[in-house]
Amino acid sequence: MKNMKGEQGFVEFYSQMYGERWPALKQALLSEHQYVAVANPYSNFKFDFTPIQNESIRFEHHIAPNFERPAPTEAGYFNYYLMDAASILAVEALNIEPGNRVVDLCAAPGGKSLLCAYKLKETGLLVSNDRSAARRARIHKIFDEYIPKTKQANHKVTAHDATKWCLYEKSVYDRVLLDAPCSSERHVLEDAKELSLWSVGRTKAIAMTQFAMLASALDIVKVGGRIVYSTCALSKLENDDIIRKLYQKREGRFELKRMEFSFGEPTEFGWQVLPDQSGWGPFYLAIIERIK
């Protein structure tokens, strides 16, 4: 793994990781993105036809090759939110119940937080956190475009460093979403400059931050509560290896929950959606319940 750098290093690293699957995976990563339109319950928008649905997605939604950009309805709020289907699984995996206290530790631009708000139905508490001020502004914008202000009383936007959250709060949330910053290889592949700057050291450094965030998440979730750890990374160092490290460092404090979805595939500790087989992703998630 030493000294792998730039485009050549990138191809070598992921060819070793994904073997014979890599060429098709690379091609799929470079193909056009697909979206799901999740209907906004506050906009009174209804699809005027029977929408194509995916059984693992419990929000009212439609899947199509292309959509018009979201726009406000007569009710004054945007009609639908466009997302990758795999991202929606992270919110489904949280199993949010009305009344829950939920924190989204790395929330911006806010698509998954918006879906958490739909699940909470104005009850409990939703904290959308992000360290970047510019990106926090996007969370506010999305919430104001999609949810009436009077229905946002249970929503807070905060600016903490997710790696250090456990210094301030412990055992207070029923659900924690950790959609961690990651290598985002799909974007790297699409950008020649990013590709030239890629190095194996980068995925290792990101993995250290991700683990610090997950260790913090385990302290802030209540005993019996649930964490969903997710990334859009292909690098296994940022996916199953993070959960492996949690077993090494926090043994006895958590249990892994397994869920099956209608697209994607199981991994050693979680679930991965890759675009060569499903057309969605890349996306990885693991479900952790705190037991101690």
| ω into 109 cis (within 30 of 0) | yes
Residue nearest to ligand SAM (CB): 106
Q: Whole-number minimum distance, CB 106 to ligand SAM, in Å?
A: 3
For ligand SAM, give the closer residue by CB, 4 or 165: 165
**Amino acid occupying residue 155:** H
The Cβ-side half-sphere exposure at 2, using a 13 Å CA radius, reads: 0
For ligand SAM, give the closer residue by CB, 161 or 289: 161
**Two tokens at 197?**
């700057």
For ligand SAM, give the closer residue by CB, 79 or 231: 231
For ligand SAM, give the closer residue by CB, 4 or 127: 127
Asked if 14 and 234 touch (Cβ cutoff 8 Å), the reply is: yes
Burial of residue 227 (CB within 10 Å: 0-12, 13-18, 19+) is buried
For ligand SAM, give the closer residue by CB, 162 or 246: 162
Q: Whole-number minimum distance, CB 159 to ligand SAM, in Å?
A: 8
Q: Does 282 bind ligand SAM (CB under 6 A)?
A: no
For ligand SAM, give the closer residue by CB, 21 or 135: 135
What is the spatial order of strands in the sheet that 80-83 belongs to? Answer: 61-64, 35-39, 80-83
Asked if 89 and 270 touch (Cβ cutoff 8 Å), the reply is: no
Q: Whole-number minimum distance, CB 291 to ligand SAM, in Å?
A: 26
Alpha helix segments (H runs only) across 176-239: 185-190, 192-197, 200-220
DSSP 20: G
Residues of this chain, 86-125, that bind ligand SAM according to CB under 6 A: 106-112
Binding track over 17-36 against ligand SAM, x by CB under 6 A: --------------------
- Out of 131, 202, 204, 222, the only residue in the binding site for ligand SAM (CB under 6 A) is 131
**Amino acid occupying residue 3:** N
Q: Whole-number minimum distance, CB 65 to ligand SAM, in Å?
A: 22
Residues of this chain, 134-163, that bind ligand SAM according to CB under 6 A: 135, 161-163
DSSP 49: S
Residues of this chain, 158-197, that bind ligand SAM according to CB under 6 A: 161-163, 179, 181
Annotated active-site residue 166? The verdict is no
Answer left, alpha or beta for residue 216, where phi above 0 means left and psi between -120 and 50 means alpha. alpha
129: which residues sit within 8 A by CB, 6+ positions away? 103, 104, 105, 106, 107, 157, 158, 159, 160, 162, 165
Binding site for ligand SAM (CB under 6 A): 106-112, 129-132, 135, 161-163, 179, 181
Please give the positions annotated as active site: 232
